[in-house]
Amino acid sequence: MTVRLTLLCTAASTERDVRFGADAPLDERALRGVRTAVGSLPAADARCTGPSQRCKQTAQALGWDAVTVEPALRDLDLGSWQGRTPDEIATVDGIGLAVWMSDPTATPHGGESVTAACHRIATWLDSLPADAGRVLAVVEQSTARAALVHALGAPHQSFWRIDVPPLSAVHLTGRDGRWNLRMGAVFATPAGEGT
């Protein structure tokens, strides 16, 4: 049986001060954006969310009542960089930041490496039961990136080359540990038309 997984990236606060791993609550503008996505998501047999406040608020704004909080879907652990801006890190540890962005095994912050995060997400993906059916999950951007790296069999260095905007959806289908990326249409083609 094929598992159909949609990873919806959490909404982002409109706060301009971007901080590594900061789990700021969503503001009303972000929540309105979530509510516009409700009708575009497929039906699901199971719904889950990462443990962050953003993930939980996004799921709540989608109107999800029964949701499983999945610890494996947590954000990348940035250790001592948690809550700091990229500019702050560049000022105090520019070399560490450069190494971290180029070497997926590096942990200059003392937290989790990109490689470790990719392995964590790959393990979660491959542990989904064959009869899971359609699964919807609200996740952090790092989680969606790691899932794509695994699904495509891409090297971990490609993690930073994947742009995953807030409220974007990643559709994967899989079985027996093999995953495929399923791209979605921008608009529906009327029956009988198209190629």
Per-residue pLDDT tens digits for 132-159: 999 999 999 999 999 999 999 999 999 9
Mean pLDDT value of segment 73-78: 94
CATH class of 3-76+120-182: alpha beta
| Residue ranges of domains in the chain | 3-76+120-182
pLDDT over 60 (residue 189): no
Backbone angles phi, psi at 130, to 5 degrees: -60, -25
Contact 81/21 with Cβ under 8 angstroms?
Answer: yes
Per-residue pLDDT tens digits for 91-137: 999 999 999 999 999 999 999 999 999 999 999 999 999 999 999 99
Contact 162/3 with Cβ under 8 angstroms?
Answer: no
Mean pLDDT comparison of 40-44, 58-62, 187-191, highest-scoring range: 58-62
Sign of CA dihedral 105, 157, 5, 24: positive
Per-residue pLDDT tens digits for 13-32: 766 556 677 677 888 888 88
Mean pLDDT value of segment 170-183: 89
Phi-psi map region of 187: left, alpha, beta (phi>0 left; psi -120 to 50 alpha): beta
Task: Please write down the HEC assignment for all residues of the chain.
Answer: CCEEEEEEECCCCCCCCCCCCCCCCCCHHHHHHHHHHHHHCCCCCEEEECCCHHHHHHHHHCCCCCCEECHHHCCCCCHHHCCCCHHHHHHHHHHHHHHHHHCCCCCCCCCCCHHHHHHHHHHHHHHCCCCCCEEEEEECHHHHHHHHHHHHCCCHHHHHHCCCCCCCEEEEEEECCEEEEECCCCCCCCCCCCC
Would the pTM of this model clear 0.75, i.e. be above it?
Answer: yes
CA 129 to chain centre: 20
